[in-house]
Chains A and B, each alone.
Chain A
């Protein structure tokens, strides 16, 4: 966490932090002049109010909310356009046929999701993050962006495809409960971007890619689905590549096949960690794998 200078703090106080673009004035909230209506417009959240330390113990029981099984998960809370709440009477046209297809495990401040959502408006994507503050940040960011999008006139240049209705975030421990959220073979892409390296020997069991967990990831990923890993720590990259290569259900995708892939480009550059690595002129290592078919027997 870098300490901001006094001037930077003042700048931030002046208006909401913009991520995508320009005009800040339209996002200032209605002041208390209008007392009758009391509508508050959402603003893009500022990271400094949502800081939390980077390491969270994965093995401990957090007070997490997870469904008992994938069929019991209420997705209408996350994707109101595509799922109706069981209590509501008016059915929507697209009723419960869509499923979440892409998962960003450890999504952090949501950079990848916000970049990919307008590029693939028909694909439902979910971020999973274990830290409470950071999840709230992404939630507020999505809510504010959705509201802003819905208020834009239809001919505005800022309008994005899908209005960010296809992206959401959930506070979850993906290592423990990924099977509770997704059915067998539901996902077609899964992202592990700049995960916690856990350098110490005794902590290496907490890494997000371990031989035991690969069986779970292979379970939720459909055959032919792609698993992306990007990291700036060489040791971690070698560890992840080694275990994924050794696992019979994952086939490495040579880097040549993926050059120019917009998704991979977004994965490398659009996250907060990715931008930080670029600022510090560090290296990024990429390893992508395809999920093989189950063996015959």
Chain B
């Protein structure tokens, strides 16, 4: 029964239209003519294979670019009655963000950190030169003939933005970097903005103050910078606004401590019931033996701005949270500002400003959350748990109509719901699918991809025992202190470690640790010599054993060979006898 709509995952606006991508279909709504224009229909399987993850539209609303799960960059012309496919190009790696530059070239950031500029129309391929093989384009991104290589980060490039003066491109990545490079000569890095504690996943430059950059990610606060001089201007705390409304969280990983996994005895149901009792505080906690990524599950997915009555209202939301937030950007950006929050009935997928409709924004909600999908429990690698349903009740199907909603924002940044007729026409054009497909759609990739996982470093592999300090010393032996960094202590005084080791302690340490303590001035020669003697003797014993075994084996083989030799001799005698007999025969006859 294919009667449930694909939710619109992405919304974007031009000066005259709103475009949404739902499944593999693009639906454009022209707000002036109230007309709906669709991209060609595709069947259900292709809806999933080509599921559109990124969308961009030029400001004049005439060209649309989309990238799907099939890694195809498709460029569409907006005609009067249809969206016509203009070109298709394959990307090397999955895209993480796309946008149009002023000259209508498409800037693509991908998941390995590279940023490319694709011309609007594909470069006609030179028949004399062949296209380089895929592996060489992966290893050397400058070899891609379809596009120009702009710049590269060493981790996922989450978003990019070209500054309004068209002279710089600002890119953000998972390693807390915000980089400002020249554009189009992006090989010159102009400056970097430092300060984020976690990944940066959203960037925005408001049109009213073009020297201001607003950035957000997994941090407790959104940062406001003057990017032209590289200075932090303000921080806006957001955890208190977002944390109560988190709905979707990432999967859990087993807590592997030095190769041994911790076993948990609690069952799945026990954990969930305990969560419900204790409420929000345990939303982001993992049971014994499992870990969740750092950052409380906050991931700012989009920052946008509206101009209402001369004021700049900044809007943002966190992926997987069922809320939308706003704050006023004061004309002096360093003055404090407060965050307004509107709770929503479902997790928010995307929002965009309606053109020519001052203060109205269109939202897309994931109405299947809680009905068909829920958070994964421990012990599974799946990104979400499917709630098995065969049929949906009539009320539940009705609630799917809330997928698209319109909010009005006033000049203080406060939200209110407004009904509108426009969206019903968009809604009726959404492609339809069945329960099974909907419940398996993963619409929250960033909360799994971007945060860091605590304590998953593979150490050198040795178990360095934790020897605590005794009465004399006050140094706790941990791996770091076994080696002394050059400090004042070692240069001015003559001492290394000021610690007494007893012989029992030293005996319990392994050879590697002893060797390092030796270089730190601890006298371990005796113990090393003893161990050496031991290992010498052990080696001797081993050699003796091996020699014994070899001898035994040799003897066995020889004894086996002897009866064989005897047999061979007998055979030879027999053949000789036969031969002699024959000769005798011949001589006789």
- A175-232 at interface with B (beta carbon < 8 Å): 175-177, 179-180, 184, 201-205, 210-216, 218-219
Query: Which B residues are in CB contact (< 8 Å) with A68?
Result: 176, 194-195, 197
**Any chain A CB within 8 A of the CB of B498?**
yes
- Chain B residue nearest to A138 in the complex (CB): B483
**Any chain B CB within 8 A of the CB of A295?**
yes
Please determine whether A69 and B195 come into contact, CB atoms closer than 8 angstroms: yes
Of listed A30, A39, A142, residue having the most chain B CB within 10 A: A39
Q: How long is the Cα–Cα vector from A62 to B512 in the complex, in angstroms?
A: 22
Query: Which B residues are in CB contact (< 8 Å) with A32?
Result: 523
User: Interface residues of A, CB < 8 Å — how many?
Assistant: 76
The stretch of A101-109, A146-154, A259-267, A278-286 that contacts the partner chain: A146-154
Q: How long is the Cα–Cα vector from A295 to B182 in the complex, in angstroms?
A: 10
**Any chain B CB within 8 A of the CB of A48?**
yes
Query: Which A residues are in CB contact (< 8 Å) with B194?
Result: 68-70, 180
Given contacts A142-B486, A146-B491, A201-B135, are A49 and B511 in contact (CB under 8 A)? yes
Please determine whether A215 and B516 come into contact, CB atoms closer than 8 angstroms: no
Q: How long is the Cα–Cα vector from A44 to B515 in the complex, in angstroms?
A: 11
Pair count A-B, CB < 8 A: 195
Please determine whether B192 and A165 come into contact, CB atoms closer than 8 angstroms: no
The stretch of A18-26, A245-253, A268-276 that contacts the partner chain: A245-253
Please determine whether A140 and B189 come into contact, CB atoms closer than 8 angstroms: no
**Any chain A CB within 8 A of the CB of B149?**
yes
Given contacts A13-B532, A38-B500, A212-B114, are A204 and B491 in contact (CB under 8 A)? no
Of listed A136, A151, A180, A204, residue having the most chain B CB within 10 A: A136
Please determine whether A202 and B488 come into contact, CB atoms closer than 8 angstroms: no
**Any chain A CB within 8 A of the CB of B152?**
yes
Given contacts A13-B528, A180-B194, are A29 and B486 in contact (CB under 8 A)? no
Give the shortest distance, in Å, between B103 (CB) and chain A (any CB). Answer: 16
Please determine whether A78 and B140 come into contact, CB atoms closer than 8 angstroms: no
Q: How long is the Cα–Cα vector from A133 to B532 in the complex, in angstroms?
A: 23
Please determine whether A295 and B494 come into contact, CB atoms closer than 8 angstroms: no
**Any chain A CB within 8 A of the CB of B453?**
yes
Residue of B114, B483, B485 touching A77 (CB-CB under 8 A): B485
Given contacts A63-B455, A143-B485, A201-B136, are A216 and B529 in contact (CB under 8 A)? no
Q: How long is the Cα–Cα vector from A142 to B484 in the complex, in angstroms?
A: 10
Please determine whether B135 and A202 come into contact, CB atoms closer than 8 angstroms: yes
**Any chain B CB within 8 A of the CB of A120?**
no
**Any chain B CB within 8 A of the CB of A45?**
yes
**Any chain A CB within 8 A of the CB of B53?**
no
- Chain A residue nearest to B142 in the complex (CB): A211
Given contacts A59-B154, A202-B138, A204-B139, are A146 and B483 in contact (CB under 8 A)? no
Given contacts A13-B529, A202-B135, are A61 and B511 in contact (CB under 8 A)? no
- A44-69 at interface with B (beta carbon < 8 Å): 44-46, 48-50, 52, 58-59, 61-63, 68-69
Residue of A40, A175, A246, A297 touching B185 (CB-CB under 8 A): A297
**Any chain A CB within 8 A of the CB of B520?**
yes
Please determine whether A139 and B484 come into contact, CB atoms closer than 8 angstroms: yes
**Any chain A CB within 8 A of the CB of B522?**
yes
Please determine whether A144 and B519 come into contact, CB atoms closer than 8 angstroms: yes
**Any chain A CB within 8 A of the CB of B487?**
yes
**Any chain A CB within 8 A of the CB of B578?**
no
Please determine whether B192 and A41 come into contact, CB atoms closer than 8 angstroms: no
**Any chain A CB within 8 A of the CB of B397?**
no
The stretch of B23-31, B400-408, B456-464, B553-561 that contacts the partner chain: B456-464
- B475-489 at interface with A (beta carbon < 8 Å): 482-488
Per CB-CB distance, the 7 closest pairs between chain A and chain B, nearest first, are: A212-B152, A40-B521, A49-B515, A204-B139, A69-B194, A45-B519, A136-B483
Q: Which A residues have a C-beta under 8 Å from some C-beta of B? A: 9-10, 13, 16, 29-32, 38-46, 48-50, 52, 58-59, 61-63, 68-70, 77-78, 80-81, 85, 132-133, 136, 139-140, 142-144, 146-147, 150-151, 165, 168, 175-177, 179-180, 184, 201-205, 210-216, 218-219, 243, 246-249, 294-295, 297
